[in-house]
């Protein structure tokens, strides 16, 4: 009657069920692999691409300049990833414990990193290359891409806009940008922004949208009327121009961009959620929950939400994509982050006066395309997986 | 022989070893009615669809199947060999079909007249517009629709279910078909409307002598309309004979089982077992729930500011007394306010005026909401086994969460134990606690619905049409189970149903509702055998019964 493992298992794990269904989807597998790669790249960016050697062995013993130059964000990401991996490996016993541990580590790592980690302000990227040439140290282990995103290779002369593998001095797999920085290195570091802005902005939007939309749909009446006016007001705000204004008045801060994209895109989710709640609150299983006197939060988020989340998830996959595009657009217009790498900003450099640098368009553009595409594929598979009716027949 | 079906087999997705209709044969003569009767999943609808060749795309007919259709003066054809184009010509002109759901089988954006005219024009392309118009009017008059001229220009949503089904029949007979295939045409209708429609179909048949292939699950309807009956079970015809011999002296065990499961036959067995009530007079004095002058009205809003322009009175001065441990039935046609009354008792709908007293305490005295401690004493079982369980939650969660809210069981494990015991009481597997609702059949789901109501140990349960979506055999099991539980747990039940047979079997007292009012309230045996009110008498007369067959 249904897919294997469903009828036989006594495990109530619904999440696992959905996950296994998603994984059956070929497109979703591709999307998850690409997203997983991005996660790996963004977490371990300093290990993959850095001008600082990972390890130096000389008479004085071991030293790792890479670790010394880790920023606060690097450390937070690494700690979080390691803790999450450990917890998954030891099979967290109860969900609540798991989440509290994660939150505690997050807090500790934030506080720790901001107070104790202060990487040297002045970075001289050339020193290691010179050291290596002078053979002062015995053994040097470099990162696979031995260039930091902001290492403009001043020691190598004019290296701006070198085609992939064109340089005779050093290997640039994907060429260099206008300042002479390695494109691959910049792309690896930029995956952080692409992932972060998509997830955080959409997360904020979904959180606000589900709560406001859910209350609107469940209570309807006056709450609905007021909520809909609020939705219309926020829908009238042009996101891109608001972003431009904020960029003009405040710092070019990635977190500010995330929040702005988030709080201007919730109305779409609220509309979807409201429509679903309006439909579902009349359903008999919701009436039954009311009769059993279950608390409001349980009715709203445990009984109604999982049944109405499908269209929101599909919208969210597009939302993640459009958040990435919004940041890329901003960077393309030259109003993104100043010196930090971002895919959109690299695209911006592809066309300069009369020349077209194809590698500056192809690689970042391809990365944006693949990421947006992946999210859409995952959203599509998720929608199929959480629809109980689509599995009755199979 | 109008229709001669030989070795009809239907299978899905090319799975020849698992046919849904398994080489059945039957035949039908002109002017005769053949009933296909069976429970859900027995393949009766698939049989009807194969005759009209309207099977779903993934279903196919076996090559050996023969469906020979006699076209009168013209040579007979095997519909199994007919091309799509010939079938299209037959449908509507020689073979017509009526569907179950009158609400969705008419196109909502075309007027009745347009839809009728299209069917007639397809049959006789040479007719002029005026002639078509006359034919439309004639056919609507034939199905006894009033205000025919007005009706031609109205849209389907303005018609009631019975009127729509009449329009469907008008469309079917307008083209003077030789064969009418009717797939449960009265299942969605009230009994009195059903009686009218059945009579109408019979009259039309005697007028133009068409053969009718009538599909139903209701043996009462069979008794009223059929000449011959074929009983289907699991894709096979287990018994095929004239109606009288099937219903009076059934040969096959399955048919006998179906007949035994009929509520009207269950009543006999129950009254032999025990007479349920001892001292009705005394019980009436100490009433458990007392409803006085309850009015519920829904506002009609219109205009830009959604101003209230009027009210629909769903309940109009309803008064009812329910004694402890009684089963009180509410019976009435759709729209009579039965469900509204049930939901108002549970506090799901706020009444306009009136009072509900529980052992003397007025539940509506506190303005804001129902008193919290009432909630675990009152419960509700819903009609639809599909939508009454949350499809995303395991049965365990559905049962255990309310227990937690009402402080039943000390911890999770203890609640699981209670839930397991409850599942055992309802003849369900304990392990199925960890499954999702879609893994259960309709009857099992309805039992889970009962388990959910029982898990908070209520005293009073409103059962809202709990068996109307189920087959008769499942229905009789469920009703028996409910009566046992009522005994063992000392429950008071308000049993809402449109089925007089079920009510006669289940209840001690019956209240008959009509247009938001209770027209008669008495002991069930009195209501069923010597009703005093005219409306109740009409309602009872309309119920199709197997025993009415003479």
Residue B196 has a CB neighbour count (10 Å cut-off) of 18
Chain A positions in Cβ-Cβ contact with residue B379 (cut-off 8 Å): 291-292
Residue for token pair 């690689």: A363
- How confident is the model at residue B345, as a pLDDT? 86
What pLDDT score was predicted for residue A390?
A: 58
Query: Three-class SS of residue A149?
Result: coil
Cα distances (Å, whole numbers) of residue A260 to A249, A339, B140? 14, 21, 63
Q: What is the 3-state secondary structure (H, E, C) of B302-368?
A: ECCCCEEEEEEEEEEEEEEEEECCCEEEEECCCCCCHHHHHHHHCCCCCCCEEEEEECCEECCCCCC
| pLDDT at position A9 over 50 | no
CB contact under 8 A, B456 and A391: no
Q: Is the pLDDT of residue A5 over 60?
A: no
Q: Closest approach of chain A CAs to the CA of B474, in angstroms? A: 21
Q: Hey, of A9, A285, A389, which one would you mutate to test binding to chain B, going by the most B CBs within 10 A of its CB?
A: A285
Write down the pLDDT at residue B89. 81
Q: A112 pLDDT exceeds 80?
A: no
**Which pLDDT tens digits describe chain B residue by residue (550 residues)?**
888 888 888 888 877 888 888 889 998 988 899 999 988 888 888 888 888 888 888 888 888 888 888 877 777 888 888 888 888 888 878 888 888 877 788 888 888 888 888 888 888 888 888 889 888 888 888 888 888 888 888 888 888 888 888 888 888 888 888 899 998 888 877 888 888 888 888 888 888 888 999 998 888 888 888 899 999 988 889 998 898 888 888 888 888 888 888 887 777 666 545 444 444 455 555 678 888 888 888 877 766 666 777 777 888 888 888 888 889 999 888 778 888 898 888 888 888 888 888 887 777 766 555 666 677 788 899 888 888 888 888 888 889 988 888 888 888 888 999 999 888 888 888 888 888 888 888 888 888 999 999 888 888 999 988 888 788 888 888 888 888 888 888 889 999 988 888 888 888 899 999 888 898 898 888 888 888 888 988 888 888 888 777 6
Tell how strand B19-28 and strand B378-381 pair up: unpaired
| Cβ–Cβ gap A388/B436 under 8 Å | yes
B24 half-sphere exposure, CB direction, 13 A CA radius: 28
Residues of A with a Cβ under 8 Å from any B Cβ are: 1-2, 6-7, 10-12, 14, 283-285, 287-295, 298, 302-303, 306-307, 386, 388-389, 391-392
For residue B18, count CB atoms less than 10 angstroms from its CB and return exposed for 0-12, middle for 13-18, buried for 19 or more.
Answer: exposed
DSSP string, B478-515: HHHHHHHHHHHHT-EEEEEES-HHHHHHH-SEEEEEET
Taking residue B540's Cβ as centre, other Cβ atoms within 10 Å add up to: 17
Q: Can you point out the beta strands (E) in B13-168?
A: 19-28, 33-37, 59-61, 66-69, 77-78, 95-98
B48-68 pLDDT, tens digit per residue, is 888 888 888 888 888 888 888
Strands B307-323 and B287-302, bridge-based pairing: antiparallel
SS3 category, A392 = coil
CB contact under 8 A, B382 and A293: no
Q: State the Cα–Cα distance between residues B254 and B451, nearest whole angstrom.
A: 29
Residue B70 structure tokens: 């006699």
Q: How far is CA A102 from CA A16, A72, A77, A257, in A?
A: 20, 18, 12, 25
Q: Which segment of A96-100, A232-236, A282-286, B533-537 scores lowest on mean pLDDT?
A: A96-100
B window 358-417, beta carbon within 8 A of A = 372, 375-376, 378-380, 382-384, 387-394, 396-397, 401-402, 405-406
What is the phi/psi pair of residue B309, to 5°? -110, -10
Q: What pLDDT, on a 0 to 100 scale, did the predictor assign at position B358?
A: 82
What is the DSSP code (8-state) at residue A304? I
3-state DSSP call for residue B43? Answer: coil
Using a CB-CB distance cutoff of 8 angstroms, which residues of chain A are in contact with residue B434? 10-12
Q: Taking 60 as the threshold, does the pLDDT of residue A8 lie above it? A: no
Would you place residue A12 in the very low, low, confident or very high pLDDT band (cuts 50, 70, 90)?
very low
Q: How far is CA B86 from CA B46, B89, B227, in A?
A: 20, 5, 30
Computed over every residue of chain A, the mean pLDDT equals 80
Q: How far is CA B238 from the centre of its chain?
A: 24
Look up residue A308 and give its two tokens: 């109405």
CA B157 to CA B145: how far, in whole Å?
15
Phi, psi of B300 (to 5 degrees): -100, 120
What token pair was written down for B259?
């007949």
Out of B388, B435, B438, closest to residue A288 by CB: B388
Report whether pLDDT(A239) > 80.
yes
Q: Which residue matches tokens 């049409």?
A: B465
- The whole-angstrom separation of Cα A115 and Cα A104 is 17
The Cα A125–Cα A119 span in angstroms is 14
Nearest to B478 by CA among B519, B499, B439, B506: B506
- CB-based burial of residue B285 (10 Å sphere; 0-12 exposed, 13-18 middle, 19+ buried)? exposed
Which is more confident, A123 or A364? A364
Report the DSSP pairing between strands B59-61 and B66-69. unpaired
Q: Is the pTM of this model over 0.80?
A: no
- Going across the sheet that includes B378-381, the strands are B378-381, B460-464, B492-497, B327-331, B509-514, B517-523
Contact in structure between B139 and B166 (CB atoms under 8 Å):
no
Question: Is the pLDDT reported for residue A14 higher than 90?
Answer: no
Residue-level pLDDT at A15: 67
Strands in B179-183's sheet, in edge-to-edge order, are: B95-98, B179-183, B211-216, B33-37, B228-233, B236-242
In chain B the first and final C-alpha atoms are separated, in Å, by: 27
Q: How far apart are the first and last CA of chain A?
A: 7
The closest of A197, A213, A193 to A320, measured between CA atoms, is A197
Query: Of all helices (H) and strands (E), which one includes residue B3?
Result: strand B3-12
Position A293 scores a pLDDT of 82
Q: What is the pLDDT of residue A394?
A: 38
Helix, strand, or coil (residue B27): strand
Distance CA B267, CA A149 (A): 85
- d(C-alpha A76, C-alpha A71), whole Å: 9
Length of chain B: 550
Tokens of B440: 């259960």
Residue B314, strand partner residues: none
Find chain B residues with C-beta within 8 A of A95's C-beta.
none
Give chain A positions within 8 Å (CB) of B391.
285, 307, 388
Q: What is the pLDDT of residue B69?
A: 87
Residue A74 has pLDDT above 90, yes or no: no
- The Cα B260–Cα B255 span in angstroms is 9
The residue written with tokens 């121009």 in the block is A241
Residue of B nearest to A391 (CA): B438
pLDDT of A319-339, one tens digit each? Answer: 887 888 888 888 888 777 777
How much is the pLDDT for B461?
A: 92
Report H helices in A135-220. Answer: 183-219
To probe the interface with B, which of A96, A224, A292 has the most B CB atoms within 10 Å? A292
Helix (H) or strand (E) holding A24: helix A14-24
Phi-psi group of B317: left, alpha or beta (phi > 0 → left; psi -120 to 50 → alpha; rest → beta): left
Burial of B277 (0-12, 13-18, 19+ CB in 10 A): middle
- Write B169-172 long-range contacts (CB < 8 A, 24+): B169/B98, B169/B143, B169/B197, B169/B200, B169/B201, B169/B204, B170/B116, B170/B139, B170/B140, B170/B142, B170/B143, B170/B145, B171/B96, B171/B115, B171/B116, B171/B119, B171/B139, B172/B96, B172/B97, B172/B98
Q: Who contacts A213 (Cβ-Cβ below 8 Å, separation ≥6)? A: A227, A269, A270, A271, A272, A273, A274, A277
Mean pLDDT of A107-115: 71
pLDDT in the model for residue B204: 87
The dihedral sign for the CA sequence A24, A26, A27, A32: positive
Q: Which residue of A has its CA nearest to B342?
A: A291
Option in B376, B391, B435 nearest A307 (CB): B391
């Amino acid at each position: 009657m249904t897919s294997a493992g469903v009828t036989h298992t006594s495990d109530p794990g619904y999440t696992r069920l959905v996950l296994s269904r998603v994984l059956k989807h070929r497109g979703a597998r591709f999307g998850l692999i690409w997203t997983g790669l991005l996660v790996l790249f963004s977490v371990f960016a300093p290990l993959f691409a850095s001008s600082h050697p990972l390890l130096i062995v000389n008479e004085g013993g071991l030293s790792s300049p890479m670790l010394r130059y880790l920023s606060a964000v690097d450390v937070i990401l690494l700690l979080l990833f390691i803790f999450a991996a450990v917890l998954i490996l030891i099979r967290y016993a109860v969900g609540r414990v798991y989440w509290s541990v994660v939150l505690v580590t997050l807090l500790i790592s934030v506080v720790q990193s901001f107070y104790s980690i202060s990487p040297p302000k002045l970075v001289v990227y050339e020193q290691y290359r010179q050291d290596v040439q002078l053979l002062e140290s015995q053994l040097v282990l470099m990162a696979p891409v031995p260039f930091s995103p902001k290492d403009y290779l001043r020691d190598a002369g004019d290296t701006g806009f070198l085609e992939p593998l064109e340089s005779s001095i050093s290997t640039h797999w994907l060429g260099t940008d206008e300042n002479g920085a390695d494109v691959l290195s910049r792309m690896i570091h930029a995956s952080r922004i692409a992932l972060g802005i998509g997830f955080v902005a959409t997360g904020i939007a979904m959180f606000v949208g589900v709560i406001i939309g859910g209350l609107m749909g469940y209570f309807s009446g006056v709450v609905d009327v007021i909520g809909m006016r609020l939705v219309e007001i926020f829908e009238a705000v042009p996101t891109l121009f608001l972003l431009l204004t904020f960029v003009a008045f405040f710092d070019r801060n990635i977190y500010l961009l995330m929040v702005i994209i988030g709080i201007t895109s919730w109305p779409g989710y609220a509309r979807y959620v409201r429509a679903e709640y309006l439909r579902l609150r009349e359903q008999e299983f919701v009436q039954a929950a009311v009769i059993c006197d279950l608390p409001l939060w349980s009715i709203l988020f445990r009984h109604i939400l999982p049944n109405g989340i499908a269209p929101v998830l599909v919208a969210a996959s597009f939302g993640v994509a459009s958040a990435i595009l919004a940041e890329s657009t901003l960077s393309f217009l030259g109003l993104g982050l100043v010196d930090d790498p971002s895919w959109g900003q690299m695209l911006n450099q592809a066309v300069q006066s009369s020349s077209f640098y194809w590698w500056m368009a192809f690689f970042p553009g391809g990365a944006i395309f693949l990421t947006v595409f992946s999210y859409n594929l995952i959203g599509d598979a998720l929608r199929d997986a959480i629809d109980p009716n689509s599995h009755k027949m199979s | 022989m109008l229709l001669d079906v030989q070795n009809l087999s239907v299978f899905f997705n090319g799975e020849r070893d698992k046919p849904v209709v398994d080489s059945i044969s039957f035949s039908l003569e002109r002017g005769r009615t053949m009933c296909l009767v069976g429970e859900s999943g027995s393949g009766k609808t698939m049989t009807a669809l194969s005759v009209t060749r309207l099977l779903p795309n993934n279903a196919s007919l076996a090559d050996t199947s023969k469906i020979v259709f006699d076209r009168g003066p013209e040579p007979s054809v095997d519909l199994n060999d007919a091309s799509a184009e010939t079938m299209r010509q037959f449908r509507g002109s020689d073979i017509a079909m009526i569907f179950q759901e009158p609400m969705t089988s008419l196109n909502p954006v075309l007027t009745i007249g347009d839809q009728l005219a299209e069917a007639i024009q397809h049959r006789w392309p040479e007719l002029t517009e005026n002639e078509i118009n006359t034919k439309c009017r004639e056919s609507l008059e034939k199905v006894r629709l009033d205000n025919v001229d007005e009706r031609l220009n109205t849209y389907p949503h303005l018609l009631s279910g019975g009127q729509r089904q009449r329009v469907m029949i008008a469309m079917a007979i307008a083209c003077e078909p030789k064969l009418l295939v009717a797939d449960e045409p009265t299942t969605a209708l009230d009994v009195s409307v059903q009686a009218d429609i059945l009579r109408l179909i019979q009259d039309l048949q005697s007028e133009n002598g068409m053969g009718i292939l009538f599909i139903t699950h209701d043996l009462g309807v069979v008794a009223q309309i059929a000449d011959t009956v074929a009983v289907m079970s699991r894709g096979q015809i287990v018994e095929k004979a004239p109606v009288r011999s099937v219903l009076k002296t059934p040969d096959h065990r399955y048919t006998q089982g179906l007949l035994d499961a009929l509520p009207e036959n269950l009543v006999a067995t129950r009254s032999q077992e025990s007479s349920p009530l001892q001292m009705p007079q005394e019980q009436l004095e100490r009433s458990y729930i007392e409803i006085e002058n309850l009015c519920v009205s829904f506002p009609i809003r219109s205009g830009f500011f959604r101003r209230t322009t009027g009210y629909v009175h769903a309940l109009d001065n309803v008064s009812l007394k329910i004694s402890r441990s009684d089963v009180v039935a509410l019976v009435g046609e759709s729209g009579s306010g039965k469900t509204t009354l049930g939901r108002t008792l549970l506090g799901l709908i706020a009444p306009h005026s009136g009072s509900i007293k529980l052992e003397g305490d007025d539940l509506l005295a506190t303005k804001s909401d129902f008193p919290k401690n009432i909630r675990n004493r009152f419960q509700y079982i819903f009609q639809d086994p599909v939508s009454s369980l949350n499809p995303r939650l395991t049965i365990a969660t559905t049962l255990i969460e309310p227990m937690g809210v009402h402080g039943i069981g000390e911890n999770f494990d203890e609640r699981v134990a209670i839930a397991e015991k409850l599942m055992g009481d309802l003849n369900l597997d304990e392990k199925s606690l960890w499954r999702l609702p879609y893994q259960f059949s309709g009857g099992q789901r309805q039992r889970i619905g009962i388990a959910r109501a029982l898990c908070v140990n209520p005293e009073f349960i409103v059962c809202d049409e709990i068996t109307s979506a189920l087959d008769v055999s499942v229905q009789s099991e469920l009703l028996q189970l409910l009566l046992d539980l009522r005994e063992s747990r000392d429950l008071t039940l308000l049993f809402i149903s449109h089925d007089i047979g079920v009510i006669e079997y289940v209840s001690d007292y019956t209240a008959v509702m009509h247009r938001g009012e209770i027209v008669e309230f008495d002991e069930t045996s009195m209501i069923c055998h010597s009703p005093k009110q005219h409306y109740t008498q009409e309602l009872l007369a309309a119920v199709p019964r197997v025993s009415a067959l003479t």
